[in-house]
C-alpha cells in the first residue's frame, strides 16, 4: 500500500503537513534530538533483560533504538515486554532479550551485534535500527550496508532475521525520503529475510497522529505500543517454531 503522503507525483500537502507537524523533524532539530537521546540516562541504557517462559525453544534477540528501548515509557509497557506477553498467551516458548539502546544507529548495532550473538545464541534476531541514521541525514548506502552486514552476521550464526522498516517525513526531500523507505525492502529481498515494511504503520500515518506520540513528537506513547507489536507480530510469528 502506498500512502498519500509518500506519493510525490501527486503530493498531498495536508498529509505532508500532518506528518511534519507530528514529528517536527528538520535537520537542525533532528540533530538536537539525537544529541538529547545520546546524552540522557535513558538514552544510553541497554535493556538486556531476558525472561524465560516454559522450556525455551529459542531466544528472540531485539536489537533496536529508542523505539524498542521504552524511551520515555514506564518499564514493562513497551512493545517488547508486550511481545513476551503475546508469546505466553499463544503458548510459544521463547526467551526474549531486549538489547536496544536509545540513540543507536545501524553502525552502533553492527558493532554490538557479534558480541550479542555470541552471548545469547539467538534463534531469531529482530533488527529495528535506521531511524537515527535518518535523523542525522547519514548516507543511505551506509545504512543499507550496515543492515545487510547485521543480517548476514545473524544468519551466519544460525538465526532467522526480521528486519523492521522505518520511514521519514517529506521535508527530507523526495530522493532521501523514498530511498530510505525502499532500502529496508531492498536489503530484506537481497538477504532473503522477513520484513516489517513500516514499524509505525497506523501510528504516524493517521489523521490523529499527534495523539499517539509523546510530547517530543518522536516517540510513540504507551497507548501506541500495542499497535507497534501488531505491526511486528504477524511476521515474527512465522519465524518462531
pLDDT score for 78: 98
Q: Which of 100, 133, 219, 224 is catalytic?
A: 219
Contact 42, 71 (CB under 8 A): yes
CA–CA distance from 141 to each of 149, 189, 205 (Å)? 12, 16, 26
Q: Which of 66, 68, 100, 102 is catalytic?
A: 66
Helix (H) / strand (E) element for 21: namely helix 13-23
pLDDT score for 74: 97
Which of 44-58, 140-154, 193-207, 210-224 shows the lowest mean pLDDT across its residues?
Answer: 44-58
Task: List alpha helices for 78-139, DSSP H.
Answer: 79-89, 106-120, 131-135
1.10.150.120, 2.60.40.420, 3.40.50.1110, 3.20.20.30: which CATH number matches 9-40+48-239? 3.40.50.1110
Q: Which of 20, 93, 107, 216 is catalytic?
A: 216
Mean pLDDT of the chain: 83
pLDDT score for 172: 86
pLDDT score for 20: 47
Q: Nearest CA to 206 among 188, 186, 220, 187?
A: 220
Residue 219 annotated as catalytic: yes
Sorting pLDDT into bands at 50, 70 and 90, what band is 169?
confident
Calculate mean pLDDT across residues 159-187: 95
φ and ψ of 47, to 5 deg: -90, 105
pLDDT per position as a tens digit, 57-82: 599 999 999 999 999 999 999 999 99
Q: Nearest CA to 160 among 63, 82, 61, 85?
A: 61
Domain boundaries, the chain: 9-40+48-239
pLDDT score for 57: 55
Amino acid at each position: 500500500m502506498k500512502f498519500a503522503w509518500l506519493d510525490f507525483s501527486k503530493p498531498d500537502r495536508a498529509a505532508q503537513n500532518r506528518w511534519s507537524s507530528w514529528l517536527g523533524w528538520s535537520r537542525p532539530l533532528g540533530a538536537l534530538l539525537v544529541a538529547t537521546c545520546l546524552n540522557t540516562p535513558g538514552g544510553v541504557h541497554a535493556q538486556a533483560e531476558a525472561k524465560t517462559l516454559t522450556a525455551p525453544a529459542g531466544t528472540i534477540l531485539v536489537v533496536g533504538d529508542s523505539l524498542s528501548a521504552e524511551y520515555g515509557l514506564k518499564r514493562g509497557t513497551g512493545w517488547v515486554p508486550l511481545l513476551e506477553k503475546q508469546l505466553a498467551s499463544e503458548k510459544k516458548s521463547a526467551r526474549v532479550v531486549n538489547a536496544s539502546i536509545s540513540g543507536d544507529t545501524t553502525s552502533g548495532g553492527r558493532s554490538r551485534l557479534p558480541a550479542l550473538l555470541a552471548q545469547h545464541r539467538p534463534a531469531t534476531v529482530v533488527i529495528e535500527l535506521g531511524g537515527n541514521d535518518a535523523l542525522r541525514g547519514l548516507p543511505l548506502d551506509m545504512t543499507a550496508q550496515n543492515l545487510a552486514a547485521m543480517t548476514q552476521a545473524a544468519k551466519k550464526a544460525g538465526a532467522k532475521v526480521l528486519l523492521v522498516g522505518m520511514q521519514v517525513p517529506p521535508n527530507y526531500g523526495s530522493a532521501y525520503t523514498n530511498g530510505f523507505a525502499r532500502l529496508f525492502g531492498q536489503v530484506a529481498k537481497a538477504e532473503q529475510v522477513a520484513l516489517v515494511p513500516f514499524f509505525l504503520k497506523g501510528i504516524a500515518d493517521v489523521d490523529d497522529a499527534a495523539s499517539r506520540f509523546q510530547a517530543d513528537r518522536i516517540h510513540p506513547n504507551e497507548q501506541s505500543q500495542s499497535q507497534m507489536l501488531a505491526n511486528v507480530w504477524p511476521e515474527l510469528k512465522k519465524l518462531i517454531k
